[in-house]
Structure 1
Amino acid sequence: MSADDAESDVRPGDATDGQVGRERAAEWFLLTGRRRVAAGLIAAVFFAGVLAVARVAGVPVRTLVAEKNTLWWVFSPMIGAVVTGVTLVITISQLILSQELGSLGDQRERMEGSMEFRDDANPRLDSPVGSADPASFMRQLLDGVRARADSLGAAVADAPDTALHAEVDEYVDAVSDDAARASEVLEDATFGGFDVMYGALTFNYSWRLYQGRRLVARHGDAFDSETRRLLDELLGLLRLFGPAREHFKTLYFQWELVNLSRVLLLSSVPALFVAVTVQLFVNGSSFPGALVGVERLTWVLAAGVTVTLLPFFLLLTYVIRVATVTKRTLAIGPFVLRNTDRDRIDWETDPQTESATEPGAETDPQTESAERE
C-alpha cells in the first residue's frame, strides 16, 4: 500500500474498521514507526517466507549445497554488495552533509538569514523572543494561528452578511481544529526523532492559506478594516509556517542521514561476519536433522541470508520515510498537489474568484490529518 493509498477519499464516517486499521498500519510503516523496528519486521517476514518456500518446494537443501555450490552463489555476491552498498551510502551521506561546510562568509550569510526570519516571526508570536526549540517554536506559530483565527471569528460574529459569516466561521473552525491537532502532536516532541516533523506535517498550512486568499478574493469588499487586519495577520503566520517547516525538514533529513550512516556501519559488521562464516564453515553435512519439518540447515541458511540483508532492510525503511516526507512537502505556499476530499469548504466558483486564484490551485483541495502534507 502506498502512502496515498493509505489516505483514501473515504469520509471518516464511512470508513470501516478494516480501512482505518490499514491506514494506521501504512502510516506506521511509512512514517511514524521506529525504523529499526520496521526493518526487523521486514527481516522477519523475509525469513518466514524463505522457510515457507523451502517447506512447500520440498527441494533438499543439502543436495543444492553439495552439488550446485549454492553457498558460494548466494553469499559471495552478498559480501561484495554489503561492502559496496555501505560504502556508497556513506559516501553520498557525507557529500550531502558537506554542504554544512563553508567559508566564513557563507556561514555568516546563513546566520543572517536565520536571524532575519526570527526577527520577522517574533512580533507575530506574541512573545518577545521565539523559542529556540524547534517543537516549541512550531507550537508558538500554531498558537498564534489559533488566536488570530478565534479573533477573526469573533470579529464577523455580528456581520449582517450571513454568507460571509458562515464561510468565515467554517474557515476559522477548520484552521483552529487543524492547528490544535498539530500542536497536540508537538507537545512532547523533541528534535532528533520524527515527532517534530510529524507535527509539522499534520498542519496543512498550504490549503488553509489558499482558503484564506480565496476568502479575501470573494468577500474582500465586505470586510471592515479590523476584520481585514486580523485576516492579514492570520495569513502572515501561515506564510511563516511554510519556510519554518522546510527549514526543520532540511535539518531532519541531515539528522536522518547521520543516523542512517551509523546504523549501516553497525549492521554491516554482523552481516559480513555471518556471510563469511557460512561460506567458510557450512557445507552439505552441517546441522543434521530437522526442526518442525524443515531441515536444520535450511533454518541456518535462511537466518544467514536474512542477517546478511539486514543493512539493505534498514536502508529501505529509512529511504521510505524520507521519500514519503519529501512527497508530502513538494510544494510550498498555496499549492495543493494531492487530491482528497475531507473537511472541504464548498465555495461556489465565479469569474471574480477564478481570476484571483493562483495557477495550479484548482486541484481538488484537501485537509491534512496526522501524516499529511
Structure 2
Amino acid sequence: MSKSAAPSDTMAERSAGSTWKQRVLLEADRRAVAAGLMAAVFLGVVAASAATPTPFRSVMRSTDVIHTLFQGLTTALITGVTLVVSINSLVLSQELGAVDDQRERLDGALEFRESVADTIDEPVSPADPGSFIAALVGACADRATAFRDALDQSTTDVDDADDADESDAGDESDAGDESDAGDADADDLFEDVDDFVTELTTHADRVRADLTDAQFGTYAVIGAALNFNYSWKVFQARRIGTVHADAIPDAARDAHADLLDALEQFGLAREHFKTLYFQWELIALSRAMLYAAVPALIVTISMLLFFNTAVVEGSILGVDVLVLAVAAATTVAVTPFLLLVSFLLRIATMARRTLAIGPFVLRRANRTTVPDGDE
C-alpha cells in the first residue's frame, strides 16, 4: 500500500492551499474574521483616498457623494439583510412539519443511536455530540486492532498446523514451493494491515484528544470529526479485502466486516452532525446580521440626515478627519455583509472539502486506483 498517497491527518493539511489559509477559513472565530475584514475595508478606503490626486474635500464640494453613497448603502442594507434572513429561514424550514414527519425523524434517530450503541459495545450511545463521535472513532480503532489480532492469530495457527504437517509428511519440493508462496502472501497481507491499523489507531487517538471537553456549536467538534478522513480509511480497508481476498483467513473476515461497519457508522454520524452544524451556523449568521444591521442602519440614516462636512475639520496622522469619518461610517454600514462573508467562507470551505460520502477521494493529489490481485 502506497504510503505516499495517504492524506494528512487534518482537513486543513489535506487541502491544496496553504495551511494557515485553511485555518483562517475553518478554525478562526467568525467575529475575528469579520473584524479583520472591517479593518481591511476601513484601511482600503483611507488608502484609496490617499492615492487619489484630488483631495476628498474638493470632491465633496463639487458632488454630493456622501448622500449618494449612504443612500445606496441604506437600501442595500435593508434589502440584503431581509433576503439573507429569508433564505436562512427557508433552509431551516425542514425543522417544521406534521407530526408524522417528526415521528419518522425521531424513529430514524433512535434506530441510528441503537445501531451505534451496538457498534461501540455500550448499552446506550452518548448523548453529547463530541462524546458520540469520540466513541465511534474509538470503536473504529478497537475494531481495526481486533482485525489485526484476528489475522495474527489465524496466521499463527496456520503456521503451527503447517509445521506439524511437515514434521509428519517430510520435505517435498512442491509442497515447499506452495508453502513459500503462501508465506509471502501472508507477509504482504500482514504488512499492509499493520501499516493501515497503525495509521488508523494513531489518527483516532489524536481525534479523540481533540474532542476532549469540546462543545457542540464551536468548530472543535465538527472540525475533529472532519479531520478523521474515514473515506480514505474505508477505501484502504476495502482495498485490503480485495487485493488479499485469498490470503485473509475465514476467522479474520468477520473482524474485517466489523471494521467496515464501524467506519460506515462514523460516516453517517459525521454527515448528520455536519448538517446540524450548518444549521447552527446559519442561525448564528442570522442573529449576527440582525444585531449588526441595527447600528449599521442608524449610521447610514444619520449620515444622510445629519452629517455636515463643514463641522468635521482637522487631521489625524496626516489624514483628513473627514476621510476617517466617512471610512468608519462606511465600514459600519457594510458590517452585516462582512459577517455574511465570514460565515459563508467557513460553510463553503467545509462543504467543498466534504462533498463526497463514502470511499471517494476527490483531491487530485491523492488520486489512486484499486490494484488488481496480481500487484
Structure 1 and Structure 2 fold alike (TM over 0.5): yes
Distance 1:10 1:67 in 2: 64
Aligned to 1:106: 101
Structure 1: state its 5+ residue gaps: 1-8, 13-19, 354-373
Matched-pair contact (CA < 8 Å) for 2:230–2:267:
yes
In structure 2, distance between residues paired with 1:120 and 1:79: 53
Pick the aligned partner of 2:310 from 285, 288, 291: 285
Q: 1:88 aligns with which of 78, 83, 86?
A: 83
1:40 to 2:38 alignment: no
**CA separation of 1:292 and 1:58: change in aligned 2, threshold 3 A:** farther
2:323 paired with 1:301: no
Deviation at 1:332, TM superposition (A): 0.7
Residue aligning to 2:62:
67
Measured at CA, do residues 348 and 282 of structure 1 come closer, stay the same or move farther in structure 2, by a change above 3 Å?
A: closer
Partner of 2:372: 350
Cα shift at 1:157? 3.9
The 3-state SS of whatever aligns with 1:37 is: helix
Residues in 2 aligned to 1:174 and 1:241: alpha-carbon distance in whole angstroms? 17
Amino acid at match of 1:52: A
Give the structure 1 partner of residue 197 of structure 2: 172
Q: Which residue of 2 aligns with 1:130?
A: 125
1:238 aligns with 263
Alpha-carbon distance between aligned partners in 1 of 2:274 and 2:374, rounded to the nearest angstrom: 36
Matched, 1:332 2:354: no
Shift of 1:181: 2.1
In the other structure, the counterpart of 1:15 is none
2:175 pairs with 1:153: no
Q: TM-score, normalised by structure 2?
A: 0.84
1:25 corresponding residue in structure 2: 20
What are the superposed Cα offsets for residues 240-262 of structure 1, whole Å, 9 maximum, x if unpaired? 01111111111111111111111
CA shift at 1:88, angstroms?
0.6
Whether the aligned pair in 2 keeps the contact of 1:152 and 1:231 (CA below 8 Å) is yes
Q: Secondary structure in 1 aligned to 2:268? A: helix
C-alpha distance after superposition, 1:316-342 (max 9, x if no partner): 01111111111122111111111234x
Deviation string, structure 1 residues 256-281 (Cα, Å, up to 9, x no partner): 11111111000001111111112222
Are the aligned partners of 2:42 and 2:331 in contact in 1 as well (CA < 8 Å)? yes
1:139 pairs with one of 116, 134, 142? 134
TM-score, with normalisation over the residues of structure 1?
0.84
Say if 1:62 and 1:10 are closer, same or farther in 2 by CA, change over 3 A: farther
Match of 1:275 in 2: 300
Q: What's the counterpart of residue 250 of structure 1?
A: 275
Matching residue's letter, 2:297: L
Match of 1:210 among 219, 222, 235: 235
Whole-Å Cα distance in 2 between the matches of residues 165 and 66 of structure 1? 82
**8 Å CA contact 2:299, 2:329 repeated in 1:** yes
- Per the TM alignment, residue 165 of structure 1 is displaced from its structure 2 partner at its CA by 1.2
How far is the alpha carbon of 1:73 from its aligned partner?
1.7
What is the alpha-carbon distance in structure 2 between the residues aligned to residue 348 and residue 142 of structure 1? 25
Between the two proteins, the alignment pairs up a number of residues equal to: 334
Q: Which has the higher contact order (CA 8 A, sep 6+)?
A: 2
Secondary structure, counterpart of 2:245 in structure 1: helix
SS in 1 for 2:127: coil
* Alpha-carbon distance in structure 1 between the residues aligned to 2:41 and 2:339: 13
**Contact 2:144 / 2:197 at 8 angstroms: preserved in 1?**
yes
Matches within 5 A, 1:181-220: 181-220=206-245
Letter of the structure 2 residue corresponding to residue 66 of structure 1: R
1:224 Cα deviation (Å)? 1.6
Q: Give, in angstroms, the shift of residue 118 of structure 1.
A: 1.4
Distance of 2:370 and 2:24 partners within structure 1: 39
Report the aligned-residue RMSD: 2.3
Give the distance between the partners of 1:75 and 1:51, measured in 2 at CA. Answer: 17
In structure 2, C-alpha distance between the alignment counterparts of 1:35 and 1:217, rounded to whole Å? 44
Query: Is the 2:243–2:371 Cα contact (8 Å) retained in structure 1?
Result: no
Gaps of 5+ in 2: 9-14, 156-182
Partners in 2 of 1:70 and 1:303 — Cα distance?
16
Maintained 8 Å contact 2:242/2:373: no
Partner of 1:115: 110
2:179 matched residue in structure 1: none
Q: What is the Cα deviation at residue 223 of structure 1?
A: 1.4
AA at the equivalent of 2:285: L
User: Deviations along 1:177-202, whole A, 9 cap, x unmatched?
Assistant: 22222222211211111111101101
Q: Specify the code of the residue in structure 2 equivalent to 1:62.
A: R
Q: Cα gap change, 1:63/1:93 in structure 2, threshold over 3 Å: closer, same or farther?
A: same
Partner Cα distance (1:237, 1:92) in 2: 36
Cα distance between partner residues in 1 of 2:256 and 2:345: 38
Shift of residue 351, structure 1, vs aligned partner: 6.2
Q: Which amino acid aligns with 2:371?
A: T
Larger CA deviation: 299-308 vs 327-336: 327-336
Partner of 1:78: 73
Greater share of helix: 2
